[in-house]
Amino acid sequence: MTHLDPTRFTCEKQRELYAYWLKVRGESSMPSRKDINPMDIPHLLSSIWMADVLHGDPVGFKARLFGTDLVRAFQLEATDRRLDEFSFTGDIIKRMTALVETRQPYFWKGPFPFETDDFKGYSTVSLPLSNDDKVVNIIICSVHFYN
């Protein structure tokens, strides 16, 4: 299992979500959705989004939850929408597909996907969830926007 380096994360919320994910996964390689209790992390929810994995060829993703920080930054509500509906999600889909294949969490930092005066870049910590500790069926992410 690859371990992320939380010192590279760009905000405390990402470190907190990663620590929580490690705690609730226990001896498993991945926790399940039922292990995640929103009441344990209410202060993190605004920066979190979750995607259901739509297994097929190719793998697809559908937003299950899209926190208010993300709604404001992207100026859209993505809950219950497929990622491939949006023009800027190609690289995100590639990274998430790799996560599904490897079952490994990742940290990514880069430019904001379109021009805005509000943000220059963003980072994400993306973590797999699994009902059976074998197949990733949900990905939970903490996103941080910065100048």
* C-alpha closest to that of 121 among 108, 134, 131: 108
Q: Left, alpha or beta for 83 (phi > 0: left; psi -120 to 50: alpha)?
A: alpha
Mean pLDDT of 40-47: 97
Per-residue pLDDT of 79-131, as tens digits, reads 999 999 998 899 999 999 999 999 999 999 999 987 888 889 999 999 999 99
pTM of the prediction? 0.94
Q: Which two tokens stand for residue 86?
A: 């949006």
Look at the block and give the residue holding tokens 């929810």: 45
% of the chain with per-residue pLDDT over 70: 99
Contact (CB, 8 A) for 54 and 61: yes
The C-alpha atoms of residue 104 and residue 96 are separated, in whole angstroms, by 10
**CA–CA dist 9, 126 (Å, integer):** 11
Burial, 144: exposed, middle or buried (Cβ in 10 Å; 0-12, 13-18, 19+)? Answer: buried
